[in-house]
Structure 1
């Protein structure tokens, strides 16, 4: 079943006297319970695409259908109500929360705003969410700024799943984490997908990350998708110049200790 369908999406920005095509005729689909990786170098249009899908920016042309609805036609209260079904986890684990927020207040807000739990039931729901992402119920009382990077990203994931979404957009969501923490977060995301059937649009420049979590992969270059298909096939045998550049940028140590570019 198709959850998200994007057709011929376009977004241009003016930069001085130039017109920059940040997203230039992008089309793809995402099925329920599937992860689609969006890869590309810096400036390829990945983050702009995420903003368009989330309605944080508006396209000049194209269509987005989400859960059978014309996503771009929703306005006002109807759009706010449907936002619970599509959530985001950002790259900036330090700037994603108010500096004085506690973990509990971060999770209480979406539960209250989207009327998912009553005031009486919200503490129990917050404890359940924290447990699901590997944190303790007592962490609800901690200021977010006291948490480690990995703990903050777990709170961000708990916030994203609190509204029971069908789609989560992750924009470089593990790029600021060290390798061990990153791997634990990726494992958590895969477990949540298996348990809850969540779909992910996973945006990253790191093909090693995308290979670990993505069923299919789209490679962007200068605002366009230049390759699209099964993740393993595309990484093993890239067909575009952008794909070759991404694969060659992933280092691995050989047994002799010499670096080798491969995934």
Structure 2
């Protein structure tokens, strides 16, 4: 009987068949010099080593050997399954809390699976800022451009990351909000990449800061309508404009009086 069948059947957890840092082994009588016979389960979770033995040596006179052997086998497989789930849970949460160890400087966002990039398309001389979803099968890029804003590219990248890495919705929502970089992240990345030997022009950041420029313009218009520097609308009008307005208003009042008296 395959040792993994029990775990795969009763513990629904989508994982590789046999993790490299986990092992479940059976030793029959005479195989080990120590005299141990039974199941040995071992594994590593976050650099901590776990190991447990399940002996098939029956010391219970009222339990048949076959029943004891089966009982110990099931205990070993249950412990192995729990250790696997703990390992994969640790891997899942680690990917939400830290960059991949091989992530280059300036590219990381504080979680694994999405990085920043300033790259050229094949056959093009122009650099494009983009969010990169790092998949084993095929890397997917979400370029910030005139057609796709910074916010839109970020949302699409997170949507793809959520689906590809099977991220829980509540975790994806938190990452979408808390890990979203600002335009300055690409500015910093450009400096890093140029220090590495690239020659990325400043206009590569044009579309990244487009929203920021539009927001700045909107604020200026809003401040103008409300009054310069947050002042009241009365302060917006200069002395000459107020004088001309008052004179015009006085003329209208006199005209109205004249019509009333006629």
Q: Give the TM-score range, shorter chain.
A: under 0.3
Larger radius of gyration: 2
TM-score normalised by L of structure 2: 0.23
TM-score normalised by L of structure 1: 0.23
Q: With a CA cutoff of 8 Å and minimum separation of 6, indicate the structure with the bigger relative contact order.
A: 1
